[in-house]
Copies of this chain bind each other. A is one copy, B any other.
Amino acid sequence: MSESSNDRLEGALPITSADEAAGVVDNGMTVAISGFGSVGYPKSVPRALDGHQSLTILSAGSVGGEIDEKLVKSGTIDRRAHFQSRPAIRDAINAGDVAFFDRHVSQFGDELRFNGGLDVDIAIIEAVAVGDDWFIPSTSIGHAPSMVRAADRLILEVNHAQPVALKSIHDVYERTAPPHREPIPIDGPIDRIGNARIGFDPDALNAVVETNTADDPYTFRTPTASDQAIATNLGSFLGSEIQSNPMFSSTVSMQFGVGSLGNALMGTLTEIEFGDRTVIYFGEVFQDGLLNMLDSGRLAGASATSLALSNAGQERFFDEIDQYAKNVVLRPADLSNNPALIERFGVIGVNSAIEVDCYGNANATHIGGIRMISGIGGGGDFVRNSRLSIIALPSTAANGAVSRVVPMIPHVDHSEHDVSVIVTEHGVADLRGCSPRERAAKILEIADPAFRNDLEAYRDRAAEGRGQTPHDLETAFDWHIEWNE
């Protein structure tokens, strides 16, 4: 135990090496780690876990290659939840070598705390500063507070590569437990109701490890022509919707899903005619696409649980962090993704999917119905609870060889009950108030023209059998069977 008094370490802390800290992790343990949007995850202690065996690793969102590449290749991870985005872990999951399950972001914190089948032994959390009974999280918060509550023991990694000034964007508010859980006392998407610190029981603190390693964040591809066309269609639809819908007469709160398409769509918000409305982002990730909007003053503020910026975006953000801290807030994931807040703020949610069927169900996780990509993450929170729920996706994949509008999807993450509008580069299908047959007519119109004849043939063949939602089960998966081969 050494005494430290730099600006990151306060009080008598059990400062150790990463190897020493990793020594308290026994094989077979369940380890909860910070990280969301591929940032804010611990780096040194996971590296030192190489050689351990049969670990269950729980994270609120995606984490870096230190965990989901290296510890997968070393065979350290047996079980993993509930989101990931690296090839090595994905391959191991799909080979059946790592047991993986994915849950809604909004609920995972409660599942950690209240008997969700998960008994957390140790939490390993990245911080920018630590005191005797508190720490300040780094570039993401995720479920760090719930992990600290759920875990028997705590290891903190203080990362000198992350600016201490991050504390100015954090708003940690912890909810009480059901059945006497209070309503969340917040009035607007970027209001602050907490502070920068997460408290802990000093007796549970096993180790504080110092590190100095940058995040290994997302990279975003340059927007494609298809992205641009989707953005144009979305912008035109939204421009008309906010004019006609009284819910959006003064304020428009929006969310965009994680990833390159979401990032590209965020960036095109500048093109929408918002008039004198206040525009606010209320989502789970703050991506590069929002920076220009904030800089121009078009965006009044942003709430998220992760600064899921690219390296260039992080640099830009850190350089002006005091400026950005005026209207950017990071919250625990059970607030950023909270169903009640999404609903109360009247959020317009824009999320993507692998494919949609002709009735408006969406598959966001399983290619061919079988192979996991990343997990549902927070998509289900926003698709389900947004007052206007939009799925935006290109009409094809694999350079046009595969239609993303299909007769039936072999895995359903978002049901027809949850999806109101679908946008592709070919147009907008506004499904509100429509029966399944009417939805099919609209969705087929925004499919890729090369596939429309086949889709219409399926629709007509299915309709022969009548029913509320006609399907021809013998041929519903013909495309998927072909593609899976």
- Find A432's partner among B111, B346, B371, B376 (CB 8 Å cutoff): B111
Does A163 sit at the interface, judged by CB under 8 A? no
| Contact code string A236-251 (vs B, CB < 8 Å = 1, else 0) | 0000010011110011
Query: Do A183 and B484 form a contact, CB below 8 Å, given A110-B387, A417-B380, A433-B116?
Result: no
Does A471 sit at the interface, judged by CB under 8 A? yes
Q: How far is the CA of A345 from the CA of B385 in the complex (A)?
A: 19
Q: How far is the CA of A241 from the CA of B418 in the complex (A)?
A: 31
Tell me how far the C-beta of A378 lies from the nearest C-beta in chain B, rounded to whole angstroms: 11
* Chain B minimum-CB-distance residue to A90: B468
- Find A181's partner among B179, B346, B433 (CB 8 Å cutoff): B346
- Find A366's partner among B103, B104, B247, B469 (CB 8 Å cutoff): B469
Does A253 sit at the interface, judged by CB under 8 A? yes
Contact A413 B415 (CB under 8 A): yes
Q: How far is the CA of A118 from the CA of B434 in the complex (A)?
A: 10
Task: Tell me the chain A residues, 369-394 only, with Cβ under 8 Å from chain B.
Answer: 369-372, 376, 380, 384-385, 387
Does A438 sit at the interface, judged by CB under 8 A? yes
Q: How far is the CA of A417 from the CA of B245 in the complex (A)?
A: 32
Does A221 sit at the interface, judged by CB under 8 A? no
* Residues of B with C-beta under 8 A to A95: 466
Contact B372 A467 (CB under 8 A): yes
Contact B417 A415 (CB under 8 A): no
Does A361 sit at the interface, judged by CB under 8 A? yes
| Contact code string A423-439 (vs B, CB < 8 Å = 1, else 0) | 00000001111111110
Contact A417 B467 (CB under 8 A): no
* Chain B minimum-CB-distance residue to A246: B114
Q: How far is the CA of A79 from the CA of B343 in the complex (A)?
A: 27
Does A465 sit at the interface, judged by CB under 8 A? yes
> From DSSP, what is the main secondary structure of chain A's interface residues?
loop
Contact A372 B247 (CB under 8 A): no
Does A474 sit at the interface, judged by CB under 8 A? yes
Does A102 sit at the interface, judged by CB under 8 A? yes
* Residues of B with C-beta under 8 A to A408: 410
* Residues of B with C-beta under 8 A to A186: 183
Does A398 sit at the interface, judged by CB under 8 A? no
Query: Do A435 and B370 form a contact, CB below 8 Å, given A94-B467, A177-B247, A411-B469?
Result: no
Q: How far is the CA of A369 from the CA of B410 in the complex (A)?
A: 13
Contact B340 A370 (CB under 8 A): no
Tell me how far the C-beta of A233 lies from the nearest C-beta in chain B, rounded to whole angstroms: 18
Query: Do A467 and B101 form a contact, CB below 8 Å, given A114-B245, A346-B178?
Result: no
Tell me how far the C-beta of A254 lies from the nearest C-beta in chain B, rounded to whole angstroms: 11
Contact A339 B344 (CB under 8 A): no
Tell me how far the C-beta of A193 lies from the nearest C-beta in chain B, rounded to whole angstroms: 11
Q: How far is the CA of A376 from the CA of B416 in the complex (A)?
A: 11
Query: Do A100 and B473 form a contact, CB below 8 Å, given A114-B246, A181-B344?
Result: no
Does A115 sit at the interface, judged by CB under 8 A? yes
Query: Do A474 and B481 form a contact, CB below 8 Å, given A247-B115, A432-B117, A435-B101?
Result: yes
Does A315 sit at the interface, judged by CB under 8 A? no
Tell me how far the C-beta of A302 lies from the nearest C-beta in chain B, rounded to whole angstroms: 15
* Residues of B with C-beta under 8 A to A465: 370, 484
Q: How far is the CA of A102 from the CA of B387 in the complex (A)?
A: 16
10 CB < 8 A contacts A-B: A101-B436, A114-B246, A114-B346, A115-B432, A179-B188, A340-B343, A369-B469, A473-B484, A474-B477, A476-B477
**Which 8 pairs of residues, A with B, have the shortest CB-CB distance?**
A117-B432, A178-B346, A117-B433, A183-B183, A340-B340, A370-B467, A372-B468, A412-B412
